[in-house]
Structure 1
Amino acid sequence: RSVAAEDALRFTMLETLREFGLEELRRTGELAPLQRRMADYYTGLAEHAILFLQGAESTAYHRLILADYANIRAVWTWVQAQREVALALRLCSALFVFTNNNAREGEQLALATLDLAAHEPPSPLLVNATMTAGYCSWLLGKLDVAEAYMQRALALDEVIGHRADSAFLGVMRGMLAVRAFDRGDYAAARELFAREDEIMREIGDEWQIAMNIVNWGIIEWRLGEFERGRSMLDESLRLHRRVGQAWGILKALTDRADLHIVCGELDAAASLLVECPPLLHNSDMPDREASYHLSCTRLALARGELGEAADHLAKSFEGHHATGYFYGLEENYLCAA
């Protein structure tokens, strides 16, 4: 809706036409069937898009869904009102990747889905919805709640004979490993990462291998195993480049740059970070953009460029606040201090 005075009449007329159309659909009994078709269409669109979100076409499909996100929200409102459990589970599962853009909204969607599905039997889609609730809780810093959801999802997967999506399960096991690390249980963290690495190498899922070892590598260098961490992060970056998914490449670039900074290899860090802006251009990935600016903040601080650091830190704060990412905000505050 435009605020320009010369457009006011035109937009008022469009609103009138919309209301008239809705009244006619109600009068003829066509509104409910049309809403059903809309729900089926946009749920199917999200399910189709997620098939491409781990590959080289991920940015195009990511933007495709975001361009229609207002319609998807409208579908979600209808699904809730009609208590369409099956559609709710499908939509929640398909939108898992997009919760990185807004963890608060993702949490609301996942919790509402689990409420609708409270009496549903265990299924792969129920595992995915439970996992989504855990993932969003984790992003928002509700770590105990997140762990409870993840353990519940693993238990459900056990009941259904391990039929849940391997990518969902891989993310879940990775988060449990990070949680174990945060508690100081380093042996458990390494065991979880090693088990996931074994599973994904057997499957041959290069994206999931790369995601697992980038997080495992971070833990290794934080434990003082710099060479092991360096090797893992380098392999992750090579794999992500081969897969071609922009989100994964960006994560691998910033995580590898961070290790260069810790090791005092500032020029090497800068050479990786310079690759990020072209990947971020028109990508609609605020979480990755915030992480990029956080790495740039660290580099500028290491170089003593305080003005540059402050500029990047402000942008990182803005992105992490918008997405709700707890760990990112925590790192922002550490840099500010």
Structure 2
Amino acid sequence: MNSGDQRAFAALLRRLRIAAGLTQQELAERAGISVRSVSDLERVVNERPRRDTAQMLAAGLGLSGAERERFLDAARRRPRSTPGSSIYAPLPEPATALLGRAFEIQAIEDAFATDNVRLLTLTGPGGVGKTRLAIEAARLLAGRSGGVLFLRLDGLTDPALVLPTLAGALQLLEIGDAGSLPERIAAHLEQQELLIVLDNLEHLLAAAGDLADLAGRSSQSRFLVTSRESLRVSGEHVIPVPPLPRPDPATWHMTERETDARQSPAIDLFIQRARTIRPDLTTAAETADGRANLAVIAEICHRLDGLPLAIELAAAQAQVLSPAAILALLKDAMLPLFAAGGRDQPPRFQTMDAAIDWSYSLLPDNERVLFRALSVFAAGFTLPAAAVIGGAADPSPDEPFDPQQPMRGLDLQTIGAVATLVRKHLLVEDTSPSNDVTTRFRMLEPIRLFGLDRLRETGEEPPVRRRHARFFVRLAEALDALTFGPDPEVWLRQEETDLDNVRAALDWALAAGEYDLTVRLTNAVAQLWEIRGMVSEARGRVSRAITVDSSSIPASRWFLRFWAGTFAFDRGDVAEAMRWARELLAIGETLGEPLAAGAGFAALSRATGVFADRHEEAADLARRAVATFEPLGHDEWTAWGWTRLGIEDHLLGRLEDARASLLKGMETRQRKGCEGCVAYSLVSLGAVSADLGEPVSALDTYRESLRLTIKHENQALMLAVLLGLADVAWQFGAGAEPERDALLLFGAAEAVWRRHDLGRRRAALDAIARWQLPMREALGDEAVDGKIGEGMLLARDEVVALANDLQVSARRR
């Protein structure tokens, strides 16, 4: 049962009971159920009622017609995803029920019920509730599809990043030809029945053509997009999302009319939000005070043109102001109404400027300054970040920052000011499923854009942007260092959460001529790009940073070239990887930077080792890397050098030497406490143990590497682990069907390979073909391909169980 839906139903039941003037005891007597049942439902002790109980409650409340049907619909249990569905990330949890959108929900369901609608766009002004409607529609449709993917795009500024961001959300790594990305996404979607929700696309319309092409090629999956304007592409189905119907104030001022807030979704929305902070707000139509408040609220909603966000902002003032006072302030401010928005203003301000400016005008000066400064964050923020960006000081980018103790020294004034802005609904707590690191806050995008305009008008933007960029340099550098220690995924997730802020800081620093900040921030976030497979973006960012790094210190300059070579190698561009390795080595030797020289030797070894006839040369380069690294005391670099040497010795058949080198590298990484790094050493050690005829050691080593690889979500390494396990199963399998085990594991590896486009060298492909040859001769192509296909369908838990159940003997095939 969805907890958000439970809370929404509990709130609905309580509101209807109070509106009917009933106690829990009285409702229980009218409905013919126990008082305990009513109490438990309102306190979310029980899940939603059975259908017969819901019908009895509706009768007890005196509901009829459409109102009764809405209540019974709210009481129904939401369909769950099927056991085999794929939910890449949970949908955001709405705090309350959706109001006044039955027509639009039905239109969405009807459209997706037809085979020819694959791309549906919800359009409307900012703050009209497109996102909330899309979430509700996705929730209702989740049980009818193979899964739901919800992706917020408001943090992106570059349309070229839409497809890579979608690929990342689908867990498709960017390794291989960048031009293949649309084909890979289309092929992936063709195999699944997904509902993909892309939220806030209006500023990325240049990507609309690519999305339309994907939708046209995806017969199974559907796209639900929210945007302030239509995409204007072929195949698009548009559903406009209007404001909630405006109540007529004259009607609600008629004292003899039996008025009911539920007859107007706009009024109902105001009351629901206001009662969260002022539960005693009187709106009962049976009383004079209640009718008076309803009439005033009707006029407020009318003036705000039924815009949900504007209504919520107005309702937030109910904690300290009566509805009449709120209306008076709205009138006295002489703010432009929705329909009277200036034609020379951007569309977003024609609908939201009045409501936001009104709330902004109520802030004291210090809160206005903080509000403007916080609008610079592109992806939300933590309290420590707010303290730096909203403060008067301008910390040096060299000032230490400890992510392990982020709240140390944080002043209470900042906490109080942020809490005030949250209470006034100008900030919200970020409760998105991806935010599991620490408490974060964000501005709704229309409010953030309003704040940015005010920031520019006051001339405060340059210093605030500078503080923003300097803070994220400090944070990214500190997080990057921590990823080489215990629990690297904790720090990588924190880096990933702030990636849109990092992008904004990089864009500003480059445009403002803050080139050293550009270089340092690029270097600090490069490892995240590498691990998460964001190769296209990484290559572009690193390339731009290299063009402006002339004034940076040598350590920053050579590190950029290390990453340039690494990302080129990921793409299979060996010539470019070799060029950057040589330039890296030249910087080290020319400027007397021994760490750079060691990295240059290791990078050259990596690129040279691609060629089958140059392994001896690659081994010599690796030895020079080790000799250069060891006296410097940099464990992570020394371990890489030993690992490179072990890999090349293995390829040259020097197995004992290879094991010794790999063990030295692993021991160095273990001293550092980097589990993710140790997993790389274990894969190579497993291969050496197998070639030495030590199947038990090989199996144990691969199993441990598999555990660490799954823990740290390293798909590229997963491929190597599964191929190694398949090889051990084939060579040394002692079970009843060793060929079956080997082929199933190879099929699982094939699935990872294809899913993430983890390109393999021709030599590796030839080796795999030779490995399969005996089985194909013994079992036939049809049987072999059948088992491989079966392995490709294994779930991760099934793969782990298969690996754990493997049995081996000393006999080699």
Q: Give the match's secondary structure for 1:141.
A: coil
2:622 & 2:745 partners in 1: Cα distance?
Answer: 36
1:139 & 1:197 partners in 2: Cα distance?
Answer: 23
Structure 1 residue 213 corresponds to structure 2 residue 642: yes
- Does the aligned pair in 2 maintain the 1:55–1:245 contact within 8 Å? yes
Correspondence list, 1:118-133, <5 A: 120=551, 123-133=554-564
Structure 1 residue 273 corresponds to structure 2 residue 404: no
Correspondence list, 1:1-337, <5 A: 3-5=134-136, 14-101=444-531, 102=533, 103-117=535-549, 120=551, 123-162=554-593, 166=595, 169-183=597-611, 184-281=613-710, 283-300=712-729, 302=731, 303-304=738-739, 305=741, 306-319=743-756, 321=757, 326-327=759-760, 331=764, 335=768
1:260 & 1:295 partners in 2: Cα distance?
Answer: 11
Q: CA deviation at 1:270?
A: 2.3
- Does the aligned pair in 1 maintain the 2:483–2:489 contact within 8 Å? yes
Q: CA deviation at 1:216?
A: 0.9
Q: 1:296/1:31 Cα in 2 relative to 1: closer, same or farther (>3 Å)?
A: farther
1:20 & 1:188 partners in 2: Cα distance?
Answer: 60
Q: CA deviation at 1:237?
A: 2.7
- Does the aligned pair in 2 maintain the 1:122–1:159 contact within 8 Å? no
Q: CA deviation at 1:244?
A: 1.5
Question: Aligned pair count?
Answer: 329
Letter aligned with residue 593 of structure 2: H
Moved more, 268-277 or 292-301: 292-301
Q: Give the match's secondary structure for 1:185.
A: helix
Q: 1:81/1:327 Cα in 2 relative to 1: closer, same or farther (>3 Å)?
A: farther
Deviation string, structure 1 residues 89-143 (Cα, Å, up to 9, x no partner): 11122223224222332211111112233x5477321222122211211221111
Q: 1:333/1:15 Cα in 2 relative to 1: closer, same or farther (>3 Å)?
A: farther
Moved more, 211-220 or 229-238: 229-238
Q: CA deviation at 1:284?
A: 4.6
Letter aligned with residue 108 of structure 1: G
- Does the aligned pair in 2 maintain the 1:273–1:296 contact within 8 Å? yes
Larger radius of gyration: 2
- Does the aligned pair in 2 maintain the 1:210–1:239 contact within 8 Å? yes
1:329 & 1:177 partners in 2: Cα distance?
Answer: 19
Q: Give the match's secondary structure for 2:547.
A: helix
Q: CA deviation at 1:301?
A: 5.2
Q: CA deviation at 1:240?
A: 2.4
Q: CA deviation at 1:294?
A: 4.1
Deviation string, structure 1 residues 257-306 (Cα, Å, up to 9, x no partner): 12233445443222122223543455354443444344344445554221
| TM-score computed with the length of structure 1 as normaliser | 0.83
Q: 1:104/1:290 Cα in 2 relative to 1: closer, same or farther (>3 Å)?
A: farther
1:169 & 1:109 partners in 2: Cα distance?
Answer: 24
Moved more, 261-270 or 303-312: 261-270
2:516 & 2:597 partners in 1: Cα distance?
Answer: 21
Letter aligned with residue 249 of structure 1: V
Letter aligned with residue 246 of structure 1: E
Letter aligned with residue 96 of structure 1: A
Letter aligned with residue 116 of structure 1: V
- Does the aligned pair in 2 maintain the 1:214–1:252 contact within 8 Å? yes
1:91 & 1:145 partners in 2: Cα distance?
Answer: 23
| TM-score computed with the length of structure 2 as normaliser | 0.37
2:584 & 2:660 partners in 1: Cα distance?
Answer: 32
Aligned residues with identical type, % of pairs: 21
1:36 & 1:145 partners in 2: Cα distance?
Answer: 34
Deviation string, structure 1 residues 52-92 (Cα, Å, up to 9, x no partner): 33333533322321222222122222233334311111112
- Does the aligned pair in 1 maintain the 2:487–2:674 contact within 8 Å? yes
Q: 1:227/1:192 Cα in 2 relative to 1: closer, same or farther (>3 Å)?
A: same
Structure 2 runs not aligned, ≥5 long? 1-130, 139-225, 227-307, 313-347, 353-443, 732-737, 773-813
Q: CA deviation at 1:250?
A: 0.7
Q: CA deviation at 1:27?
A: 2.0
Q: Which has the higher contact order (CA 8 A, sep 6+)?
A: 1
- Does the aligned pair in 2 maintain the 1:104–1:140 contact within 8 Å? no
Q: Which structure shows the higher helix fraction?
A: 1
- Does the aligned pair in 1 maintain the 2:715–2:752 contact within 8 Å? no
Q: 1:137/1:326 Cα in 2 relative to 1: closer, same or farther (>3 Å)?
A: farther
1:328 & 1:71 partners in 2: Cα distance?
Answer: 37
